[in-house]
Structure 1
Amino acid sequence: MFTEQDLALLARPLYAMLTIAPRGDRWPSPRPVWFEAGDDGTLQMFSEPDGKIERIREQPRASVVVAAPVGEPEHWVAVEGTITLHDDGAYELAARLGERFWATTGPEQRKLLEDWRNSGIVRLVLHPEKVNRFSV
């Protein structure tokens, strides 16, 4: 579902804005997340086991938007689809993304990775059903 231009944008160390269904009377509230485009056409993220994970279990659908930064020609990709939760591979994904998103991997980053390992992080996999895009 992704074009070459989409994949080039998704390969960059940019934040994705993840939106899941809220509970009750709350409005949807996107959250910035690290992500990786999988070879299988999915987008993978990770999360600590929190309320977001419970909401995904209740309604396993989500959207993600990734955009080029200000100062570059406008380019964004928006993905909608079902999201699955996985206990395997979350720490390895977090470590890869840490290398991609952090400028350095010093003691503070290594401690955070270890904290994530011990917290039981969960791998989130977004299976695209619809992709919208725009580029100049």
Structure 2
Amino acid sequence: MTRSADLTAADREFLATPRMGFLTVAGGDGLPAPRPVWFEVTEDGAVQLFSLTSSPKVRRVRRDPRASLVAANAVGEPENWIAISGSATVEEDGARELAGRLGARYWDLDDPEKAATLEQMVSADLVRIVIRPERVSRYGG
């Protein structure tokens, strides 16, 4: 396992493929509650995802910005994962566009049911959660 504060070119390549991320935020009462999320890496090396404005993860980030996202290979693939930890912010702009991009990345939008579900998601009251890496841990690759 290696650690740094920045994403490497190999990290970015790994994170550019559609895989689930698991977001954990520190601001909850009680035990941590990781949640599976779609995500993308920004040009400046942050990680962003979208969420309903009213979701518990958004409330938690607003209370305490410490967050992490872990992405890993699927079962049956060689072990490979990246964990990104840092301060998160809730951004009011760009969430619908992000949801549209990620929907096209993760789903086959030729499937009418998935396309309709994405359309509903994009029309919801969304925000972006952006994690700026302070520590990146990785294994494999």
Over aligned residue pairs, what C-alpha RMSD do you find? 1.5
Alignment of 1:14-93 (within 5 A): 14-24=19-29, 26-49=30-53, 50-93=55-98
Distance 1:92 1:105, change over 3 A: farther
Q: What are the ranges of 5 or more consecutive residues in structure 1 without an aligned counterpart?
A: none
Question: Counterpart of 2:82 in structure 1: which amino acid?
Answer: V
Q: Is the Cα contact below 8 Å between 1:18 and 1:64 reproduced in 2?
A: yes
Question: Counterpart of 1:39 in structure 2: which amino acid?
Answer: E
| TM-score (ref. length: structure 2) | 0.88
**1:123 corresponds to:** 128
Identity %: 45
**2:3 corresponds to:** none
Q: Is the Cα contact below 8 Å between 1:99 and 1:105 reproduced in 2?
A: no
**1:5 corresponds to:** 10
| TM-score (ref. length: structure 1) | 0.91
